C-alpha cells in the first residue's frame, strides 16, 4: 500500500473471474447461497463468498447460449465478444463445479432438472481438474447454456497492491426448479442459504468474515422482495469496475473503494 500510494508499485495484471449469487425465494424474501472458504486457502481464507472462480481460456470456445447474443453480452460487460463468452461460461461452469447447480438445459427453454448421480459427478470432477472443457461438456450432453438466466450485477477488481488479483464479474441467478445446491467444492468447508440482510448483520457483528465485494453485494440485494425483482433490477445495474485506491493524505495512507465509503481505512505508513 505504501508503494502504491507513493506511485512506486507496478500492479500485477488481474485475472478474469466470475461469481454467481444463486437465489431462491422464501416466505421472508430472497435467500442467497454462500460458501465459507477453507481457512487454509491462500486467497480470502475463512471468508464467506459465492460460487465462482477464474476464467478458463477454453471457456471462450464455440459455446452457444440462449438469450442475449455474445455481441449483447459484450456490450453489457464492457468487453469484446470472446471475453464476454468466456466470462459468462465461467460463471455457469464455476457454479456447477462448486455447488452442483447447472444453468443449462436440453434447449433454450428448459433447464436440467437433476444434476446428481455418478455420471454427472464424473463430468463435474473432470471440469474441476480441467481434463474436460466446458464447451465439450455441453456438447457431449447436448445442452444449451442458459445465459438468459444470468443477470450481470457488479464488477470488482482486487486492489492494485495485492499480489493475487482478480477482475471479477458478479451475476445473479435463480436456483433452477428441481435442482439443489451442495458443497461440491474442495475449497469450502461449509455452505448455507441465508437472507442477505441476515448475512450482512452477521458481518456487522463480526461473526462472519467477508471481502468488500461480498458484503457490498449483500447490502444491495437486501431491499428486494423476490428473486424476480432482483433479476429485473440486474438490467439497470452499473458495471463500472470498483477498484480500491491508496493515496497519501497528511502523512497517512488512505485506502478507499469509490462509492463504498464503509470500507475506507486510514493506515499509518510507518
| Domains (range + CATH), the chain | 14-242 (3.90.79.10)
- The answer to whether residue 14 scores a pLDDT higher than 90 is yes
What is the reported pLDDT for 32? Answer: 97
Find the mean pLDDT for residues 80-109.
Answer: 94
Whether residue 57 contacts residue 15, with contact meaning beta carbons closer than 8 Å, is answered with: no
- Regarding pTM above 0.75, the answer is yes
Handedness of CA 7, 55, 93, 84 (dihedral sign): positive
Pairing of strands 245-249, 260-267: unpaired
Is 196 strand, coil or helix? helix
Whether residue 234 contacts residue 153, with contact meaning beta carbons closer than 8 Å, is answered with: yes
End-to-end CA distance of the chain: 11
- For residue 57, give the DSSP letter: G
Higher pLDDT, 163 or 137: 137
Please give the mean pLDDT across all residues of the chain.
90
- The answer to whether residue 40 scores a pLDDT higher than 80 is no
- The answer to whether residue 42 scores a pLDDT higher than 60 is no
- The answer to whether residue 58 scores a pLDDT higher than 90 is no
In sequence order, the β-bridge partners of residue 258 are none
Return d(Cα 172, Cα 101) in angstroms, integer. 13
Residues contacting 5, CB < 8 A, separation 6+? 246, 247, 248, 253, 269
The residue to which cell 447447480 is assigned:
101
Banded model confidence at residue 269, pLDDT cuts 50, 70, 90 = low
Amino acid at each position: 500500500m505504501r508503494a502504491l500510494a507513493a506511485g512506486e508499485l507496478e500492479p500485477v495484471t488481474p485475472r478474469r473471474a466470475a461469481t454467481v449469487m444463486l437465489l431462491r425465494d422464501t416466505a421472508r424474501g430472497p435467500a442467497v447461497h454462500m460458501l465459507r472458504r477453507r481457512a487454509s486457502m491462500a486467497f480470502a481464507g475463512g471468508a464467506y463468498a459465492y460460487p465462482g472462480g477464474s476464467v478458463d481460456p477454453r471457456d471462450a470456445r464455440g459455446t452457444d447460449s440462449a438469450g442475449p447474443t455474445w455481441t449483447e453480452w459484450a456490450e453489457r460487460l464492457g468487453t469484446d465478444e470472446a471475453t464476454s463468452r468466456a466470462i459468462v461460461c465461467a460463471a455457469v461452469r464455476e457454479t456447477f463445479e462448486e455447488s452442483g447447480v447447472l444453468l443449462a438445459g436440453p434447449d433454450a427453454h428448459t433447464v436440467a432438472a437433476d444434476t446428481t448421480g455418478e455420471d454427472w459427478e464424473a463430468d463435474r470432477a473432470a471440469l474441476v481438474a480441467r481434463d474436460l472443457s466446458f464447451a465439450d461438456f455441453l456438447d457431449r450432453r447436448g445442452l444449451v447454456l442458459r445465459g438468459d438466466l444470468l443477470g450481470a450485477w457488479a464488477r470488482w477488481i482486487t486492489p492494485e497492491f495485492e499480489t493475487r488479483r482478480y477482475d471479477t464479474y458478479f451475476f445473479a441467478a435463480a436456483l433452477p426448479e428441481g435442482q439443489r445446491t451442495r458443497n461440491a467444492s474442495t475449497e469450502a468447508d461449509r455452505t448455507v442459504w441465508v437472507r442477505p440482510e441476515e448475512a450482512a448483520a452477521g458481518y456487522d457483528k463480526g461473526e462472519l468474515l467477508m471481502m468488500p465485494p461480498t458484503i457490498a453485494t449483500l447490502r444491495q440485494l437486501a431491499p428486494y422482495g423476490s428473486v424476480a425483482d432482483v433479476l429485473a433490477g440486474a438490467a439497470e445495474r452499473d458495471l463500472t469496475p470498483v477498484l480500491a485506491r491508496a493515496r497519501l493524505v497528511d502523512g497517512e495512507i488512505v485506502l478507499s473503494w469509490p462509492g463504498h465509503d464503509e470500507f475506507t481505512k486510514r493506515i499509518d505508513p510507518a
